[in-house]
Structure 1
Amino acid sequence: MNSINQLGTTTPQQTQVSERSFVNKTGETTYSQTSEIINTPNSATMQVSSLSRLLNDAAVRAETRDAITNRDGLAAIAQSTAHELYGESYTRNKAIHDAEVPNSDDSQRLAQAKQATAFTNGQGSNPFKGMSRDQLALIAYDDSGAFTVNERRAALSEADDQEYQWRVKVVAKMMDDYNRTGKISAETHQEVLDHYKSLPAIEESQLPKGYDMQLQGWIQEAKSTESSQHKDELESLLEQLTKRLTNNQKS
Structure 2
Amino acid sequence: MADNREGIILVVSINSNAFSGSQVSNVKASQNESLIKSQVAAENADVGSQKDNSSLSSLSLQLSESAARAAARDSSLSRKELGAKASELLSEISGDGYFANKKANDAEVPDTQDPGLLARADNAAQFVNGSGKNPFAGMSSDQLSLIIYDDSGSFTTNERRAAWSESFDQESAWRQKVVANSIAEYNGTGKLTKFFTAALEHYKDLPAIEQAQYPDSYEAKLQDWIALDFNYKTHTAEGTGSAQDVMDKVLNLDRQTFDDAGADTA
Give the structure-1-normalised TM-score: 0.77
Q: CA deviation at 1:6?
A: 3.6
Q: Does residue 218 of the first structure (1) align with residue 225 of the second (2)?
A: yes
Gaps of 5+ in 1: 9-23, 38-46, 245-251
Q: Give deviations 1:176-212, integer Å, cap 9, x for gaps.
A: 112222221x333212111110011111111222111
Partners of 1:125 and 1:229 lie apart in 2 by 47
Instruction: Mark the structure with the bigger radius of gyration.
Output: 2
Q: CA deviation at 1:223?
A: 7.2
What is the aligned partner in structure 1 of residue 33 from structure 2?
30
C-alpha change, 1:171 and 1:163, in structure 2 (3 Å) is: same
- Number of equivalences: 218
Contact in 2 for aligned 1:133/1:200 (Cα 8 Å): no
Q: Does residue 235 of the first structure (1) align with residue 245 of the second (2)?
A: yes
SS of residue matched to 1:35? helix
Alignment of 1:17-166 (within 5 A): 26=27, 28=29, 29-30=32-33, 33=37, 34-36=40-42, 49-166=57-174
C-alpha change, 1:205 and 1:229, in structure 2 (3 Å) is: farther
Q: CA deviation at 1:124?
A: 1.1
Q: Give deviations 1:198-246, integer Å, cap 9, x for gaps.
A: 011111111222111111111111179x9546444641332331469xx
**Structure 1 counterpart of 2:10, one-letter code:** L
**Structure 2 counterpart of 1:238, one-letter code:** D
Partners of 2:204 and 2:172 lie apart in 1 by 17
What is the aligned partner in structure 2 of residue 195 from structure 1?
202
Partners of 1:6 and 1:192 lie apart in 2 by 15
Say what the alpha-carbon RMSD is for the aligned residues: 2.7
Partners of 1:36 and 1:61 lie apart in 2 by 24
- State which of 162, 171, 175 in structure 1 corresponds to 2:183: 175
Q: Does residue 207 of the first structure (1) align with residue 214 of the second (2)?
A: yes
Partners of 2:175 and 2:191 lie apart in 1 by 18
C-alpha change, 1:76 and 1:4, in structure 2 (3 Å) is: farther
Determine which structure has the larger strand proportion and give its number: 1
Gaps of 5+ in 2: 12-24, 44-54, 255-266
Give the structure-2-normalised TM-score: 0.73
C-alpha change, 1:202 and 1:179, in structure 2 (3 Å) is: same
Contact in 2 for aligned 1:134/1:200 (Cα 8 Å): yes
Q: Give deviations 1:36-88, integer Å, cap 9, x for gaps.
A: 45xxxxxxxxx970001111110110000000111111111111122211121
